[in-house]
Amino acid sequence: MDFSKELYEAKKAAILAGKKVMEIYHTDFKVDYKTDDSPVTIADIQANKVIISHLQKYFPSYAILSEESKDDGERLNNDYCFIIDPIDGTKEFVNKTGEFSINIALAYKQKIVVAVIYVPVLEELYCAEKGKGAYKIKAREKSKLYVSNRRDNLRVAESRSHKSAEVSLLYKENKAKIEKVYEVGSTIKGCFLASGVIDAFYKFGLGTKEWDIATMDLIIHEAGGIFRDLQHQQFKYNKKDVYNYWGYYALNSDKNYFEFEHIIRQNVAK
C-alpha cells in the first residue's frame, strides 16, 4: 500500500506545530501538572490542536490517538489511526534543553506505516514510510538513514530527565563494550540510533505509552535497526490499553544485545 500522502501531510503538520511551539518556547510560559505528575504547557495543547486540525482536514475518516486528547475508544473500530505526541519530552521543553520533539505516526491494522519526528530547535525532520526507508531532512537536504555497523566501542544512550537505575546497572555490567554513554531526551534517541550516532538504548518497566514509541519504532526499523519490547516482541498499536508495560530496547544489531533478564527478575523479586 502507498502512504505517501499521509507521510507528506504528517510532515507538514509536524512543521506547523513546531512553529507554534517555538513561538512559546522563549516566553515565560506556565507549567501545569497532570494527575500522573507529568508536566503540560500551553505549547502541548496548541501543538495538539494544530496537528489534529491539519490531519482531519485531509484524512477525516482516520481515527486519532493523542496524548493531549480524550480517548473515547472509537478508534478501536478503525484500521487507520494517527498516533500523536504533540511534544515528546515536555520536561526538556520546560527546562529548555532543546531535546524535545513532535511525533506523528500512522498505524494501519496495528502496525506503524508512517512516522515523523520533528525537532523544532534544530529544524531537523526524521521520517519513514513502511518499506521505503528512513530519512533525515534538514535545510531542504534529504539523506537516507542507516544504523551503524559498530560491534565494539559502542555508543549507548540513556534518558536525560528519566534516569533509570536498571539502565545504569546494565551499562555498568557491559562497560567493557561501551565507549560512551549519551544523555538524550525524547525520541531523539531513536533518531540518533537510526542515524548511526548511537548503537543501543534500553527502557525498563512501565512509563511509556503508544505515542512515546510509535515513531521511533518505524524509523529505527527502516534504518536497519531493531526495536522490541523486553519480551523480545514487536509492538502492536491502536490497542485498547495504550500502556507499554515491558519497556523496550533498540539496537543497531542483535550482536550488540545486552542480557537484561536477570535485572528484570531482581525487580520482580523486590
3-state secondary structure (DSSP) of residue 252: coil
Q: What is the mean pLDDT of residues 261-270?
A: 76
pLDDT in tens, 121-167: 999 999 999 999 999 999 999 999 999 999 999 999 998 888 899 99
pLDDT digits (tens, 9 = 90+) for 82-111: 999 999 999 999 999 999 999 999 999 999
Average confidence (pLDDT) over 50-61: 98
In the chain, % of residues over pLDDT 90: 90
The domains of the chain are located at: 4-144, 154-269
pTM exceeding the 0.95 threshold for the entire prediction? yes
For the beta carbon of residue 98, count every other beta carbon within 10 angstroms: 15
What mean pLDDT is predicted for residues 17-40? 95
* Coil, strand or helix at 126: strand
Burial class (CB in 10 A: 0-12, 13-18, 19+), 204: buried
* CATH ID of 4-144, from 3.40.640.10, 3.30.390.10, 3.40.630.10, 3.30.540.10: 3.30.540.10
Cβ neighbors of 147 (< 8 A, separation 6 or more) are: 193, 194, 196, 199, 220, 223, 224, 225, 252, 253
Q: What is the pLDDT of residue 175?
A: 97
Is 80 exceeded by the pLDDT of residue 267? no
Is pLDDT of 268 > 80?
Answer: no
CATH says 154-269 is which class? alpha beta
pLDDT of 269? 52
